[in-house]
Amino acid sequence: MHSNSIGHKQLISQCLSVLPTEFFSSPLLNYEYDKLSVDALMKIFVAAQLDKWESYEDMEERLRANPEFCESIHLPSISGSQLSRRINDLPTEFAQELFQKVVHIIHDLTKDYKGINSEIGRLKIIDSTHLKLPPELCDWAFVTKAWNVVKMHTRIVVVSEDISYPDKIVPSTGNVGDVETPDLLVEEDDATYLMDRGYPSVKNLMSWQEQDISFVVRITKNIRAVPIETYETNHPAILRDVKVKYSYADEPIRLVEFEDEEHRLYRLMTTRWDLSAEQIMDLYRYRWMIETFFKWIKQHLKLVKIWSTKPQGMWNQMFLALAAYGLALILQLQTKSKKKLWPFLRLMRTYMYKPYNVFMEALHREKSKTSRGRQKVPLPKKKETEFEGNIAIIKPQKKK
């Protein structure tokens, strides 16, 4: 990564060269397309998310203004209308495969991370978020009056207190309930799954137990549990820690109930018998990480700015936006930066069309020391505000 040729490459080109897109440049996949290969198309849309390109006109202008970038993806010229048509026609399986290849790179870079701590291990958090679409153009996404949405059912992996990443998503129309998706998102592995009330049903709980899945899930009042054995707990917020039987399940399960600071009741079912009730309570609170992730991608990658009103275009945008997120995280991990991901991405955007080595210098530049340590702070003197010029109308204030 530090050779002279790479160092003088534009940061955006260096970033996109990390994308494992060799397969998508195959002539067999691109025999229909004279100008824009599948490889180049996906790189353009990943770049658009990374650099926050605002519209198809903006994309067209930026490509025209950056011939070096276009040359790096073998793109002679392209119009915004061509990009719009092609993102709607791109098979979503291609966008999904690119995202999965990015996830594989992140997995390799984080394989030595132990999770939250040695006792809890890695977490996988599942939840969904919705993207609102214009009703007049997206009747296929109708849910209720003036509520046309698609959903992104998401699983994130928490490999440390500071690092998490999405490793699987399931796009859907907005009328697909969360409870219908766990078969696609909960898989046998060594992680503990965290889920909110939308996901557990009696059928799902029994299935997870049969598969020996580790989980902590919040349940609704509809799932009734009969106590078998009660465990002692001294934490003031924890109301009950019991072994229970539910519905017609054969296997008993653990139920932990607690109240938060606002006296809201939480009923958690879990297969983690090895942790204390207090640890279960604290573990569940890590669910905020997926809420933060959704807020992050909507705010910083502008996922709410939709590129298409067609189903396939929307699914492609989800996968390519998350590939962009993964790409920023890969660069952060590879450079061993201590910056949080948002300041890191912000710096990337500042130096996106500068040489890669200029970005690296900025990334590792030490802050100048301007402070002289703790100084005695004098009491501030009240200053009279001075008005200059004769443009504004000034009315004297009454003295207090």
Q: What is the pLDDT of residues 120-132, one digit of tens each?
A: 889 999 999 999 9
Contact 297, 325 (CB under 8 A): yes
Tokens of 47: 């770049």
Per-residue tokens: 300: 């910083």
Give the C-alpha separation, 46 to 33, whole Å: 20
Q: Read off the pLDDT of each residue in 223-227 and give the average, rounded to a whole number.
A: 93
Residue with tokens 């109240």: 259
Q: Which two tokens stand for residue 128?
A: 């969904």
Dihedral sign for Cα atoms in the order 101, 77, 312, 288: positive
Whether residue 375 is predicted with pLDDT greater than 70 in this model: the reply is: no
What's the whole-model pTM score?
0.88
Task: State the number of CA atoms in the 13 A half-sphere of 64 facing the CB.
Answer: 9
Q: Of the ranges 39-43, 70-74, 166-170, which one carries the lowest mean pLDDT score?
A: 70-74
What is the spatial distance between Cα 328 and Cα 340, in angstroms, rounded to a whole number? 11
In this prediction, residues 368-374 reach a mean pLDDT of 59
Percent of the chain with pLDDT over 90: 68
Q: How confident is the model at residue 374 (pLDDT cuts 50, 70, 90)?
A: low
3-state DSSP call for residue 87? helix
pLDDT over threshold 60, residue 358: yes
State yes or no: pLDDT of 368 exceeds 70: no
Of 248, 243, 214, the C-alpha closest to 230 is: 243
Residue 337, pLDDT > 70, answer yes
- Element holding 170 (H helix, E strand): strand 164-173
Q: What is the pLDDT of residues 271-302, one digit of tens each?
A: 999 999 999 999 999 999 999 999 999 999 98
pLDDT greater than 70 at residue 376: no
**381 CB neighbour count, 10 Å cutoff:** 5
